[in-house]
Structure 1
Amino acid sequence: MISDAEKQHIPRGVLCGAGAGALWGLVFLAPALVNDFSPVQLAAGRYLAYGFMAAVLLAPRWTRALSMPGRKDWIALIWLSLLGNIVYYILLSRAVQTGGIALTSLIIGFLPVAVTLIGTRDAHAPSVRSLVPSLCLCVAGTFCIGYQAFLSDSASPHTLQGVICAVGALVSWTAYAVGNTRCLSRLHHISVQDWNLLTGIVTGALSLVLLPVVLFVTTAHHSGARWLYFMGVSSAVALLASICGNALWNKMSRLVPLTLVGQMILFETLFALIYGFVWEQRWPRLMEVVAFVLVTASVVLCLTAHKKKPASS
């Protein structure tokens, strides 16, 4: 059972989760803005910028910050950075470029279902039965988004490739969301911001490995203006999504239980769709409006489930 003190932190955690979702939704738009660049180039550009910014922000307390994580923590940072950042963004970028923002949002929208179900194994977590209404609404909402996406896009090899990449991104980010929350719950001596910046440094170091790959696979030639634009988009995504968005997410992860962490990912899906509508210069269709309502109701029901006391046996 969640204590009264923990319940008081939930509203603040939800606000942090909504802010993170608004910033993270931008990562769905970036591949569309620079669709003439490959997913590997997008990942390398974003995370090199993320690593550089993290190093600058951590510079005043560099020695102390690097000495706080133990060997186990550094190993965790490596695999979290790899799965939750590099692998996830490469797959997501490819999914957006081949399947579109709406289709990718649909599949990533199943993240709350996966993370919430994993979170029910935690002590004092709400029972699966109490979360069933919320999860059903979540599934219904993402189904509506997917129905609209498949209705407007005829089946093609490119669409199938987008689905496969989006499913891969779903698996990768589910592992990150669970693993990152577990780490933050035990690392009380490291602030959420320092953990975010350390993740950025590790991700930046890992992205250096991508540079030879970028040089090897790049065949398209871009003008100087396009490279400057690409660098601007990469830097903006690194600052807004990786630095600011991750900081809000990590703060939220210490304020709410894991089962509620899964529901907070829905905000990313909602904002990604909004940005997609703006990019496509259109209003949402009926099924998409229904999806917004269902997803919002899902979060509200999940909040209710966390406030209820379990029945005595």
Structure 2
Amino acid sequence: MWTGTLYALAAGLMWGLVFISPLLLPEYPAALQSVGRYLAFGLIALPLAWMDRRALRQLGRADWLEALKLAAIGNLLYYLCLASAIQRAGAPLPTMIIGTLPAVIAITANLRNARRDGRLPWLRLAPSLVLITAGIACVNRAELATLDLQATGDLSRYAQGALLAFVALACWTWYPLRNADWLRHHANRSPRTWATAQGLATLPLALVGYLLLWLFMGVGGHPFAMPFGPHPLRFAGLMVAIGLFASWLGTLCWNAASQRLPTALAGQLIVFETLAALGYAFALRGRAPGPLTLSGIALLIAGVAWATRIRPSPIEIVADD
């Protein structure tokens, strides 16, 4: 249990890095940052695949198809929808919607995977969900208070942003559940090999996406300087760093956590990503969080601490006569 929790913590610390890239590259389109991140992930996976070639040969056609689905939906589609939602609706609304992930995944997994993982008793799970939800609400309320919102926003774009944020939420509710399914059914397989396989599956998708974006910008006469933009070294360095740490190493740690923890509990531990992103954001701002934000962080930590104390209860399966 504690080993799995530590792996989830490490994954959250890695994944939190992706939220600072748009702050460091404000001139770069979100779509370019998305395909750039996963193109770097795929390229990093190539030499790692050579090191893991024996284990990768053991993966069958169905395994590679599953890796392709996870890469397409949990990587590219999720990040594209999230970035597009922020562009259309601003940051607060999508952040509030995506911030419900720990509770949504925990509830879904407790309904979906109870026979396999055991059921986390609802009465004991409820305080953790309430604490996490209250913490997310406090953090988002504090962030909303600092924003200079425009009263004359485009209602249709705002609605599109909300819809895209819900699609992103659905993608990342689906991803950890399906990823955990594969890992739990292949307990003898290395989490590192599965992370590398997802990187290989992401590479062709990201490459095609990058080329199509380059072509679209060229045909449309977009002034952005493709392929690497106005700050090529900064862009390439960030994409490689995020591809290595957030994508490959973060996926590896999450895979290791998913093999060790009930899916309903692992879903709640995604809150570590929120905490890491907040820490990095305030470090970039050069100031400490306010009282409401600190209260939200304390509630998040309390909810996670409560969740780690819960043990699943096995479900008795009655055989038919």
Which band: TM-score by shorter chain? 0.7 to 0.9
Report the equivalent of 1:282: 287
Distance 1:175-1:224 versus aligned 2 partners, 3 A rule: closer
Offset, 1:100 = 6.1
Under a length normalisation based on structure 2, what TM-score does the superposition of the two structures give? 0.85
Q: Distance in 2 between matches of 1:96 and 1:234?
A: 20
Distance 1:309-1:289 versus aligned 2 partners, 3 A rule: farther
Offset, 1:188 = 2.5
Assess if the C-alpha contact under 8 Å between 2:49 and 2:56 holds in 1: no
Matched position secondary structure for 1:37? coil
Report the equivalent of 1:17: 8
Write out per-residue CA displacement over residues 124-154 of structure 1, whole angstroms, 9 at most, x where no aligned residue.
1212222111111111111112222332332
Q: Distance in 1 between matches of 2:203 and 2:17?
A: 20
Q: Distance in 2 between matches of 1:271 and 1:101?
A: 17
Write out per-residue CA displacement over residues 75-98 of structure 1, whole angstroms, 9 at most, x where no aligned residue.
211111011111112223334556
Q: Distance in 1 between matches of 2:258 and 2:39?
A: 25
Counterparts of 1:40-189 in structure 2 under 5 Å? 40-62=31-53, 64-96=54-86, 104-121=94-111, 122-123=114-115, 124-153=118-147, 154=149, 156-157=153-154, 163-189=162-188
Give the letter aligned to residue 199 of structure 2. Answer: G
Assess if the C-alpha contact under 8 Å between 1:31 and 1:97 holds in 2: no
Q: Which moved more, 1:140-149 or 1:12-21?
A: 140-149
Q: Which moved more, 1:103-112 or 1:155-164?
A: 155-164
Assess if the C-alpha contact under 8 Å between 1:119 and 1:258 holds in 2: yes
Write out per-residue CA displacement over residues 7-55 of structure 1, whole angstroms, 9 at most, x where no aligned residue.
xxx1111111111101100011112211211122112211111111111
1:242 aligns with 2:242: no
Counterparts of 1:224-235 in structure 2 under 5 Å? 226-235=231-240
- 2:275 equivalent among 265, 270, 282: 270
Offset, 1:101 = 6.0
1:32 aligns with 2:23: yes
Give the letter aligned to residue 76 of structure 2. Answer: I
1:220 aligns with 2:211: no
Structure 1, unpaired ranges of 5+: 1-9
Write out per-residue CA displacement over residues 259-281 of structure 1, whole angstroms, 9 at most, x where no aligned residue.
11111100000111111112222
- Aligned residue-pair number: 300
- 1:255 equivalent among 260, 265, 269: 260
Offset, 1:66 = 3.6
Assess if the C-alpha contact under 8 Å between 2:265 and 2:307 holds in 1: yes
1:294 aligns with 2:299: yes
Matched position secondary structure for 2:39? helix
Structure 2, unpaired ranges of 5+: 316-321
Q: Distance in 2 between matches of 1:31 and 1:162?
A: 17
Matched position secondary structure for 2:73? helix
Cα RMSD (Å) of the superposition?
Answer: 2.3
Q: Distance in 2 between matches of 1:60 and 1:261?
A: 29
Q: Distance in 2 between matches of 1:148 and 1:217?
A: 39
Distance 1:291-1:224 versus aligned 2 partners, 3 A rule: closer
Give the letter aligned to residue 34 of structure 1. Answer: L
Q: Distance in 1 between matches of 2:91 and 2:283?
A: 11
Distance 1:179-1:15 versus aligned 2 partners, 3 A rule: same
